[in-house]
Every structure is written in C-alpha cells, then in structure tokens.
Homo-oligomer: A and B are copies of this chain.
C-alpha cells in the first residue's frame, strides 16, 4: 500500500479522551476513531491487525478441533428467559442492550452466545455418537458497560472469539478444556505477547473450573496474585491464600470499653494498643434478589482482612434458591434513607457487634428484611477478640465465640487474598502481584445451560442426559490493544511482527529524487511479491515527518532509500531496538524476508 493513497492521518498531540498509553497511541496513529461512548471505527491499519489476530485465533481453534460458524447477534428474549438470564443481563446488571422490534418482540444484542448455541445443539444433537463438538465464531459483541473506557479495552462493541463445546462426559469436557488451554497459550505466544494463565472466578457465565489469560501490563484492570515457583496464579477475585497468623490477644477478660472516635480499625488498634488481627470486624450489606426479596447480611471477618465482594456475591448467589431467587440485583452498604425503612434506631456504624440484629432491626416496620450472618474463616479462629458493642463509641474486648456471641452457622471464605500472603500449596511461597489485561477466559460450564434449556442426548446406555458444556472466549480487539500496552516506547507503538499491520515501511526521504524513488519502488514491489507486507511512504512530506509517523505506527522494520544509496546500500532500522544498519540494495529483500519469517516462528 502506498501511504499517499491511504486514508492516513496521524496526530501529534495526545487526544483528551485517552487515558492509557495504548489508547493514546492507537488514536494518534490513525488506527481507530471514536464514534460514540465505547464505540470505535477500526480504520484500515487497525483492521489489518485485527485480521491477523483473528487468523491466528482461527488456525489454533481449527487445530484444536473447533468448527467455525457464525451465530446471530440479535437474540430473541425467549432463549434468555429459558436459561434464566434475561432479567440479570438486561435489568440487574443491565449489560445486555435490548430492544423491541416492529412486532413488539423483545430482542437482546448478544454479549455472549450460550443460549443460542445451546438451542442449536438441542435441535441438532440427539446421540452420544455426535459428541464431542466444538463450535466457535469470531464476531462483534455488545455490552452496555457502566463505564466504557480505555478505547478497545472496555468498549461497548468489541470483537470476540467465542467457542462452545458439548460433551457426553466430564472426561471429554476435560480433554477439550485442556486443548483450549493449549490453543490459548499458542494464540497469545504467536501474537508475540507475555502472559500469565490464572485461576478465575466464573461470574455470571456460571460453571465450575475457569481460567483467565492475562496480558501483563501496568494499565491492566485486573490484579493477579502469583507465586515465584510458578505453581500458583489467580485473579485477585478468585485467589485464595493463607493469611498471616493472628497475634495473641492482649485481652484475657471480657469487658465492654468506652472507645470514643474509633470507627475505623486503625483508630481502634491505636486506642486499644492491639493488632488488627485481634479484632472481629462486622460489615453490613444490603442484598436485593431478583425475586424482590431483600436480605441484610452481616459479615464478620478478621480486622486486618478485606471482604472480597466477588466471593461474597458467589456465596449469596448460592443461597438464592432459599429466597426463590436466581440472582442478585443489588449488593451494597445500606445508607441512611435505606436504614430508616427497617432500623429500630440509628445503626451504630463503626461499632457493630456480630449480633446486630437484636434490637436494631425493627420487625414490625413495612419492609421486614431477612437477616443473615456470615463469618469468614479468619474470624472464626480468633480468641479473646475485640469487636463492636452495638453502641456508638463502645467496643467489647476479650470476647469469644459461643460464649458472648453465637458463632454464625455459615462459615465461608470471603476474604480478599493479597500480596504478602502465604500460598496454600506451599506456605513458604509468598504471593506477589502484577497487573494484567484479561484477553482470554475458558470455562467448564457443566450442565447449567443444557439442563435449563433441555439440551439432552442419549448416552450409550440409552439414557437421556443434559450435555456437558464448556465455553471459551478470546477478546480479539482487546488483545490487539493489549499488545500495544505491553509494547511501546516514547515514540510510539512497537508491534510484534506477527500482528503488525505491515512488516516493513519504506521511506523515500526526498520524493523529488528519482534514484530514491526508483530503488524504493523496486524493493516495494519485490517485498510485496514474496509476502513481506510493505508500506511505501511516497507522500510529499518532509523526511522528519515520515520518520516520526513510521515510529508512531510501529511498523517493525523501516527501510530508508537515502544517502547510503551512493554506496549501493539502504538503511534498515528495527523499530523495537532502533538499531540501524546499512544493507546492500540487492540483499535487502532476502534479508527482510528472513527476519520477518524468523520473528514469527
């Protein structure tokens, strides 16, 4: 492609809308344009990158036994009502765009395709002899994000590869899951990126085992905890660990103490001269289920620990059937207006005891919430602990479970693992952390969807069972931007060769110099002919502008037909290292060909 004929406009200044380097660089380099909040046009250079990533994904999926298809983006609400996700996706979380057609039928814009593919499988698959099957598609997906940001990282319209597998047995699912794990590692490696595979929370998709693939980069929205020995890595949402040991409590005797102005753990420790590990902290949450049921949840956890709300949500979803509900619409701390609806008197915030319900929850008011107590494992083990006294400005010390306070029956792990914790697999290993960009996620779904939607098969014994499912996603457009986030310098993008929009850019410093043009045109034609994708900067611009643009858009190799022509050579610069060398004109084509090839192996 000749730059003179391309829609190619670069910006010198960082656009105001961009917050992270990759977003700025893609805008400045003319790769993308914003059309609306979280909605971008992929311009020709970007489209080439996306096509390359897609092709790598396609090849690895095919190798792993996937069959490519394309499912509709418009999805009838009926399917989502069958699986039970319509309300969660369109109302509770509201991440699915929905609309009504001219017949007033409800449709959703697919953020994911479990419902559609399960319907297809249900209609087409009857027997174990047709299993396993793995179908995938590369497609634009939609999510009405609360806070679209970072360009393609968290857009409302984005490109995904999603795959779905169907199995007659858990062993078969396990095999596919492992094949996908391998395919995902290959995809990211072939794109030239550093990543980490981590244990993950399964979230609203559901299922048991799940693993994420994280591109390591400072601007990553996710936190990863891992051990140096390489044996443990998990998303902080999911991570488990051994917390540090609690110190021995300095309080041997149970008593109520006046502790004025100690509504935080830090202030309390200072006042009482004790460790945060001596304290049982009690946090109140308001939960609203999709059935309309409201529940107040009091979580007791050791004072130095933080509640992991993802884990808490999972526990509460597990309890949902008790409330004739499937999912949670609201999880939050009840504010004052909220409290007035059901509190008998103002809550002693900062001084709540593990038995807050006695006296504070007015059971005769209009809204009578269910009250639920959860205790984290870290709090269960404490002896002679400090905790709130249910009275402003007062705590109790030297308390014990089942003496002063009844131990809640629901003992759970809802603490947030953190850097510095000891690993469970080997307590000598200490958790470290890193920031990551999630570009892939694989799930063992089990029978969640097939059971709900009646997608069954007949097994060898003639019995009808729901198919066992897996699902596997790669964020194609996100991965492309993550590559930039992992690889850039002050001058611009440094594309890995495998996904660069072009391999080589040839710069003609002076477009009125016939020799420069002739040599450049010649190399340009030869390189493209042998599959080295080459741009020719034949614009009527100053050489300096051309060099700056080449650096900004990050083409791996730059050929300059400048002064060195006198000695029968061209200058060749590697973008990543900025190393420059002169190569004989007659050798440059084969040299570049071999560089490009070896960079992709």
Contact = CB atoms under 8 A, between A and B. Distances in A.
B72 A120 contact: no
Contact of A47 (B35, B69, B76): B69
B67 A7 contact: yes
Interface string A489-516: 0000000000000000000000000000
A92 B48 CA distance: 38
A68 B47 contact: yes
A188 B435 CA distance: 50
Interface in A302-333: none
Contact of A140 (B116, B140, B146): B140
Contacts of A47: 68-70
A133 interface: yes
A386 B71 CA distance: 60
B99 A94 contact: no
A98 interface: yes
A57 to B, nearest CB: 14
Nearest to A78: B36
Contact of A157 (B42, B74, B97): B74
A28 to B, nearest CB: 13
A124 B33 contact: yes
A309 B429 CA distance: 79
Contacts of A140: 70, 73, 139-140
A444 to B, nearest CB: 20
A157 B50 CA distance: 23
A76 B35 contact: yes
Contacts of A144: 101-102
B36 A6 contact: no
Nearest to A137: B47
A5 interface: yes
Contacts of A51: 68
Contact of A99 (B44, B99, B123): B99
10 contacts: A5-B65, A7-B67, A9-B125, A42-B70, A42-B71, A44-B68, A44-B69, A99-B109, A101-B156, A139-B140
A43 B42 CA distance: 27
A226 interface: no
A119 B35 contact: yes
Per assembly, the copies of the chain total 2
A41 B123 CA distance: 12
Nearest to A146: B102
A72 B97 CA distance: 15
Interface residues of A, number: 61
A423 B439 CA distance: 62
Interface of A: 1, 5-7, 9, 30, 33, 35-37, 39-44, 46-48, 50-51, 65, 67-76, 79, 94, 97-99, 101-103, 105, 107, 109, 116, 119-120, 123-125, 129-130, 133, 135, 139-140, 142, 144, 146, 156-157, 540
A286 to B, nearest CB: 21
Contact of A130 (B7, B40, B74): B7
Nearest to A121: B7
B44 A135 contact: yes
Given A37-B105, A73-B73, 8 more contacts: A33-B120, A37-B103, A41-B72, A50-B70, A74-B97, A74-B156, A98-B99, A129-B540
A36 B72 contact: yes
A139 B70 CA distance: 12
A40 B7 contact: no
A435 to B, nearest CB: 27
Contacts of A33: 120, 123-124
Contacts of A123: 33
Contacts of A79: 35
Given A7-B130, A7-B133, A39 B72 contact: yes
B71 A35 contact: yes
A274 to B, nearest CB: 45
Contact of A116 (B35, B99, B109): B35
A67 B94 contact: no
A102 B35 CA distance: 17
Contact of A76 (B39, B76, B101, B102): B39
Contacts of A65: 5
B36 A73 contact: no
A232 B33 CA distance: 43
